[in-house]
Structure 1
Amino acid sequence: MGTTNVKGLLFSIVLINLSLVGFCGYPRKPVDVPFWKNYEPSWASHHIKFLNGGSAADLILDRSSGAGFQSKKSYLFGHFSMKMRLVGGDSAGVVTAFYLSSNNAEHDEIDFEFLGNRTGQPYILQTNVFTGGKGNREQRIYLWFDPTKGYHSYSVLWNTFQIVIFVDDVPIRAFKNSKDLGVKFPFNQPMKIYSSLWDADDWATRGGLEKTDWSNAPFTASYTSFHIDGCEAATPQEVQVCNTKGMRWWDQKAFQDLDALQYRRLRWVRQKYTVYNYCTDKARYPVPPPECTKDRDI
């Protein structure tokens, strides 16, 4: 193929990817896909119930076990989402997790952890980002809706510039690439996507003061819309391809930073719903971690 044809092909790919971009610099609504297209059980498959031909799934927790599932493939950058309905009623001690992880010693990880509550108390959503095996970057928010009453979308946008965590298309956290400040950023370790439902009453609710009431078991978390749009990577050669700039929609300028509306929404979450932010915890960090200088800009 001649040079001109190659350039034409690359330009066409970019145009096709840009056509996927939707309102406010965010992709169009992800296409709903069944569980088995992208995922498989990772443990306690007998505690996973599939509904409507696999278009929905329930994870079940009782005294004997919780359950979990994982993506079939690993990815380096992309957009990952699923819709979830959390455990209702008295869910104290119960954690529902949705996260990306490279699963090695100096692993990278991007976490959603939904911390259960006593009846009538709001759920807390904890997010965390690990880079090169270092975490301790917790942020906690209350949600502005009851996540047990219906399905809501939870998603991650990850590229070489930033990691953005969304709830119903509202950005609730942006972790900027701070390599210029000496902070590692996930760029060379492919991650799988995981979800699990498990008992964590030693820490999850009020620091472990509220224990799981097993008389309310079984606990059920429900899932649908198992969307993945990422760069598949399992070999060093594929990692190199995924790091090639400009070939994927998430590399484009519109996704290298939040737009004005997204910043306003993130500030709204920060001002009204934030419970804890490690960047402002002076007792824990008398000198804030270096990446927090960019967090203050939000």
Structure 2
Amino acid sequence: MGFSFNGVSVLMLVALMVNSLMVASAGNFYQDFDITWGDRRAKMFNGGQLLTLSLDQVSGSGFKSKSEYLFGRIDMQLKLVSGNSAGTVTAYYLSSQGPTHDEIDFEFLGNLTGDPYILHTNVFTQGKGNREQQFYLWFDPTRNFHTYSIIWNSKQIIFLVDNIPIREFKNAESIGVPFPKNQPMRIYSSLWNADDWATRGGLVKTDWTKAPFTAFYRNFNANACVWSSGASSCASTSSNSISNSVWQAQELDPNSRRRLRWVQKYFMIYNYCSDLKRFPEGIPAECRRSRFL
């Protein structure tokens, strides 16, 4: 990957990775998603068990979920663009629609061969974002599939990588910070060219001689409340309602919080809560409430 672990215990790293192994039950992309753009640059294979997005100099590509969700646990396994991916962005996120939309983002910012990807996260509430945290990963995300998960309930949003929490955004409505809890969201993903900002602030441009660039998806799972006709499936008492609802009240236990601290200590490279130049009038209210927001 081209970067060191800065003294992180190898035994600790191995233990974390072994303990965090997680395989989501395989969804079917034909049943669960629609390809929305790209003129056949997005493709489904193996009876809907594998999906690929591609980017060339003409266009990128993308897809979205057929269903809308209001709270849940969303898991997706991705293998990112390999080689020289500078200038490319692979986005995987939840979003509602409209000028006051809510959004929960994973964005993977490509880089030159041998340099690490940057995992960019953000949370939008009522159309307002500016809550970025960025991370390096402790593995090469282009060599194998890894699971990227969002747990979203009325108390918090938790971002996880291979079941290791990397970020927690708590509900801070009690101090006047809006929280995404009323707008159902679809799952979206896209692969697109963003060489005006994605790699070193736009200094490194996309090398189109390496196109097409391709990202791979498998093992989608949504253990979530489906929103349909103004009602949530979680309100149903029928046997069709979701069976595993641990996520509905899930919070980080002491072991998970230790993992979160480990990731944020060794792999976080940007935290909006620490950017005093950006917020000269004072850091946002939710940052003052918790060091892990």
The bucket for the TM-score relative to the shorter chain is 0.7 to 0.9
| Count of residues in correspondence between the two structures | 268
Alignment counterpart, residue 270 of structure 1, candidates 258, 264, 279: 264
**SS across alignment from 1:69:** strand
Q: Of the two, which has the highest radius of gyration?
A: 1
Q: Does 2:293 align with 1:291?
A: no
1:116-174 Cα shifts (integer Å, max 9, x gaps): 00111100000000001110000000000000001000010000000001100000100
Going from structure 1 to structure 2, the CA distance change for 1:204 and 1:80 (only over 3 Å counts) comes to same
Alignment counterpart, residue 41 of structure 1, candidates 35, 42, 67: 35
Q: Does 2:136 align with 1:134?
A: no
**Pairs within 5 Å for 1:189-228:** 189-228=183-222
**SS across alignment from 1:261:** helix
Counterpart amino acid of 1:291? E
Unmatched runs of 5 consecutive residues or more in structure 1: 1-25
Alignment counterpart, residue 100 of structure 2, candidates 68, 91, 106: 106
- Structure 2 length-normalised TM: 0.86
- Please say if residues 175 and 295 of structure 1, whose CA atoms lie closer than 8 Å, have aligned partners that are also in contact: no
- Please say if residues 71 and 153 of structure 2, whose CA atoms lie closer than 8 Å, have aligned partners that are also in contact: yes
Counterpart amino acid of 1:249? S
- Structure 1 length-normalised TM: 0.85
Going from structure 1 to structure 2, the CA distance change for 1:204 and 1:252 (only over 3 Å counts) comes to closer
2: CA distance, partners of 1:117 / 1:99: 20
Counterpart amino acid of 2:286? E
2: CA distance, partners of 1:106 / 1:241: 25
Shift of 1:294: 3.5
Shift of 1:297: 5.2
Aligned to 2:59: 65
2: CA distance, partners of 1:163 / 1:50: 30
1:219-260 Cα shifts (integer Å, max 9, x gaps): 000110121121111343439949xxxx9714654x0x2111
- Please say if residues 72 and 248 of structure 2, whose CA atoms lie closer than 8 Å, have aligned partners that are also in contact: no
Aligned to 1:249: 245
Going from structure 1 to structure 2, the CA distance change for 1:250 and 1:107 (only over 3 Å counts) comes to farther
- Please say if residues 141 and 273 of structure 1, whose CA atoms lie closer than 8 Å, have aligned partners that are also in contact: yes
Aligned to 2:15: none
Shift of 1:45: 4.6
Shift of 1:295: 3.5
1:176-232 Cα shifts (integer Å, max 9, x gaps): 000011000011100000000000001100111110000000000011012112111
**SS across alignment from 2:285:** coil
Task: Report sequence identity in percent.
Answer: 53
